[in-house]
Chains A and B, each alone.
Chain A
Amino acid sequence: MKQIYFDNAATTAVDPKVLEAMLPYFQEHFGNASSLHSYGQTAQGAVDEARDKVANYLKCKSQEIIFTAGATESNNLVIQGIVNYLSQNNKSLHIITSKIEHPSVLEVFRFLEKQKLAEVSYLDVDQFGLISIEKLKKTIKSNTVLVSIMYANNEMGAIQPIQQVGELIKKVRTERGAKSLPLYFHVDAVQGLNYLDCEVDTLGADALSASGHKIHGPKGIGFLYLRAGVKVRPVNYGGHHEYNLRPGTLNVPAIVGLGKAVELVKNYKNKNVIKIKKIKEALINDLKKIDNIRFNGPENGCQLPNIINVSFLKAEGESILMMLDLAGIAISTGSACSSGSLEPSPILTAMGIKPEWSHGSVRVSLSKFNSLPEVKVFVQELKIAIAKLRKMAP
């Protein structure tokens, strides 16, 4: 049975070119990048090169890139780091995020709120999953020090108006003047890195998180872009690595792989976007022929080219997932049945989507390794699954 992998928002296959770049750094050039001898120098050279590649993509300075074990760590480092640093000299801090962030942002905000380290505002989203700049503007207070908004959502692909947020923050900062509290803008760009403009000056971002495994790089590696001058308190202690912000022996093969993956994104982004958009269009056209469905998320322009979120009435998402898995197809679902809490996807709920629709929601997420013929097989199997499950439903 041919396997079809349509779950690329969860993780992606490592690109063969990435693997090839990594391999020498396991056995041949295995040195510790902190060592002074030539083993160490070779490793350090490879790390420097990877850092340059990432900086080249974001159009920032290499010293502004901190390698981490992934976006979860990047998000924790920047959010906890900013609040912990500023709370040393300031009593009441206010921070803002949205209701549809990834748990690695949302849970950090909830933790800081619970610890009374900061007051938190959680921005609503509209029916398409988009935040409102007007609402954000009204939410920013004189003691707001951080706004963290994801570039694109992992469940339904909504692309937030990041540039507009960046502009707003810059304006507020200028109005505040140099002597008052800083105001920083952090972007969780994990899902956007592959497909969207990630030049930090264009976005107006002071910090940006990403993960290797979502862009055909290795797992357990990521980076945090931190604009020069932004002060954070480290989360971990125990070494001088990564500008004293992230101690621990560098994972050289993974860093090399991440650098290569970012380079490939930069060089082939336009080509990949065109290919994936075609597959997505074909998929949407075929799905529209199934009755009692709805698409969740924004219309084309504001949605990632690789994500479709669609709901089927009277067919439960986890059952759809299992049936497709039996046919060799991997997708994901926002159904309450598949969540640890037995609650429907908080993201779909924040968009005002009713439980009976969330119940039958599935996410299809594509990559450059997918193809048009896969769409035909997928839709065929999906139709069988939906018909079978609907027949079983009361």
Chain B
Amino acid sequence: MAYSKVLMDHFKSPHNQGTIANADGVGEVGNIRCGDIMKIYIDVDKNDKGADYLKDVKFETLGCAAAIAASSVLTDLAIGKTLDQALAITKDDIVKVLENVPPLKYHCSILAEEGLKKAIEEYKQRKN
């Protein structure tokens, strides 16, 4: 098993790592048995056309290199997108950026996808 250079770059210097104070939504996902935890923070604003979009996305992750890199890629993909566009992001989009993710590590990208969905859901629930 070997990780791609892109994956290692994200692992070494992850993008958008940290928290957002007073975030509009937070999605926490994880696998209790194996111990991985991922937390996605979103800051939602209105764009020029008046639609909700992700002004900022940040992550905190306790997990393997693939999970940290997937979180980093997810934030890159999500920032600037409208909520509908962001909800369409899948693990495959993340895996594509990371290149050659070992099959055993797909679930780490799924974690990132689910984390964002959960954060957006939470935002929507709060709004209603």
Chain A residues near B (Cβ < 8 Å): 314-316, 318-319, 322, 326, 335-338, 340, 342-344, 355-356, 358-360, 389, 392-394
CB-CB < 8 A to A314: which residues of B?
Answer: 62
- Given A319-B68, A338-B64, does the pair A393, B11 have CB atoms closer than 8 Å? no
Task: Check B36–A316 contact: CB distance below 8 A.
Answer: yes
In chain B, positions 12-39 with a C-beta closer than 8 Å to chain A are: 12, 14, 17, 28, 31-39
Partner pick for A319 among B31, B39, B65, B107, CB 8 A cutoff: B65
Which residue of chain A has its CB nearest to the CB of B14? A392
Cβ–Cβ contact B35 & A394, under 8 A: no
Asked whether B60 lies within 8 Å of A394 as measured between CB atoms, the reply is yes
What are the residues of chain B within 8 A of A318 when measuring CB–CB? 64-65
Which listed residue (B34, B39, B61, B68) contacts A336, Cβ 8 A?
B34
**Interface residues, chain B, with chain A CB atoms under 8 Å away:** 3, 8, 11-12, 14, 17, 28, 31-39, 60-65, 67-68, 104, 107
With A392-B14, A394-B28 in contact, do A359 and B65 touch (Cβ < 8 Å)? no
Contact B62 A393 (CB under 8 A): yes
Q: Are B61 and A394 in contact (CB under 8 A)?
A: yes
CB–CB A342/B34 < 8 A = yes
In the complex, chain B residues whose CB is within 8 Å of the CB of A389? 62
Q: Is the CB of B33 within 8 A of A319?
A: no
Return chain B residues, CB-CB under 8 Å to A338.
64
Q: Kindly provide the distance from the CB of A175 to the nearest chain B CB, expressed in whole angstroms.
A: 45
The one of B11, B39, B107 in contact with A322, judged by C-beta atoms closer than 8 angstroms, is B11
CA–CA, A236 and B72, complex, Å:
52
| Contact across chains for A344 and B64 when beta carbons are under 8 A apart | no
B62 in contact with A343 (CB, 8 Å): no
Query: Quick one: given A322-B11, A392-B68, A394-B28, are A344 and B34 in contact (CB under 8 Å)?
Result: yes
Q: Is the CB of B34 within 8 A of A322?
A: no
Beyond the given A315-B62, A322-B65, A326-B12, please list 14 additional residue pairs across the A-B interface where CB-CB is below 8 A. A316-B64, A318-B65, A319-B11, A319-B63, A322-B8, A336-B36, A343-B33, A359-B34, A392-B14, A392-B17, A393-B37, A394-B39, A394-B60, A394-B61
Q: Report the minimal beta-carbon distance from B55 to chain A, rounded to whole angstroms.
A: 21
Distance of A122 Cα from B118 Cα, bound (Å): 43
Contact B37 A394, beta carbon cutoff 8 Å? yes
Q: A318-B65, A392-B60, A394-B39 are in contact. Are A336 and B11 (CB under 8 A)?
A: no
A359 CB → nearest B CB, Å: 3
* Residue contact B104 to A342, C-beta cutoff 8 Å: yes
Indicate if the CB atoms of B37 and A340 lie closer than 8 Å: no
Of chain B, the residue at the smallest CB distance from A326 is B12
A392-B62, A394-B39 known; A343-B34 Cβ under 8 A: yes
B67: chain A residues within 8 A (beta carbon)? 337
29 contacts between A and B (CB under 8 A): A314-B62, A316-B36, A316-B62, A316-B63, A318-B64, A322-B11, A326-B8, A335-B35, A335-B64, A336-B33, A336-B35, A337-B63, A337-B67, A342-B107, A343-B34, A355-B32, A355-B33, A355-B34, A355-B35, A358-B35, A359-B34, A392-B61, A392-B62, A393-B60, A393-B61, A393-B62, A394-B39, A394-B60, A394-B62
- Chain B residues with CB below 8 A from A340, complex form: 104
Complex contacts, B34 vs chain A, CB 8 Å: 336-337, 342-344, 355, 359
Residues of B within 8 A of A336 (CB): 33-36
Nearest CB in chain A to that of B104: its residue: A340
Q: How close is B9's CB to chain A, nearest CB, in angstroms?
A: 11
In the bound assembly, the distance between CA atoms of A335 and B108 in angstroms comes to: 14
Contacts of A355 in B (CB 8 A): 32-35
Nearest opposing residue in chain A for B59, CB measure: A392
Residues of A within 8 A of B63 (CB): 316, 319, 337
Ranked nearest first, the 6 interchain pairs of A and B with the lowest CB-CB distance are A359-B35, A336-B34, A393-B62, A337-B64, A394-B60, A394-B39
Q: How far is the CB of B5 from chain A (nearest CB, A)?
A: 12
Q: CA separation between A337 and B60, bound complex, in Å?
A: 17
Which B residues are CB-close (under 8 A) to A358? 35
List, in ascending order, chain A residues with CB within 8 A of B17's CB.
392
- With a 10 A CB-CB cut-off, give which of A337, A343, A360 has the most chain B CB atoms: A337
Alpha-carbon distance between A358 and B61 when the two chains are bound, in angstroms: 17
Q: Give chain A residues whose Cβ lies under 8 Å from the Cβ of B60.
A: 392-394
Closest Cβ of chain B: how far from A253's Cβ, in Å?
30
Is B104 a contact partner of A344 (Cβ separation < 8 A)?
A: no
Task: Note all chain B residues with C-beta closer than 8 A to A342.
Answer: 31, 34, 104, 107
Residue of B nearest to A359 (CB): B35
Q: Output the least CB separation between B115 and chain A (Å).
A: 10
Determine how close the nearest CB of chain B comes to the CB of A37; give it in whole angstroms: 47
Q: Which residue of B lies closest to A322 (CB)?
A: B65
Residue of B31, B62, B67 contacting most chain A CB atoms (<10 Å): B62
B61: chain A residues within 8 A (beta carbon): 392-394
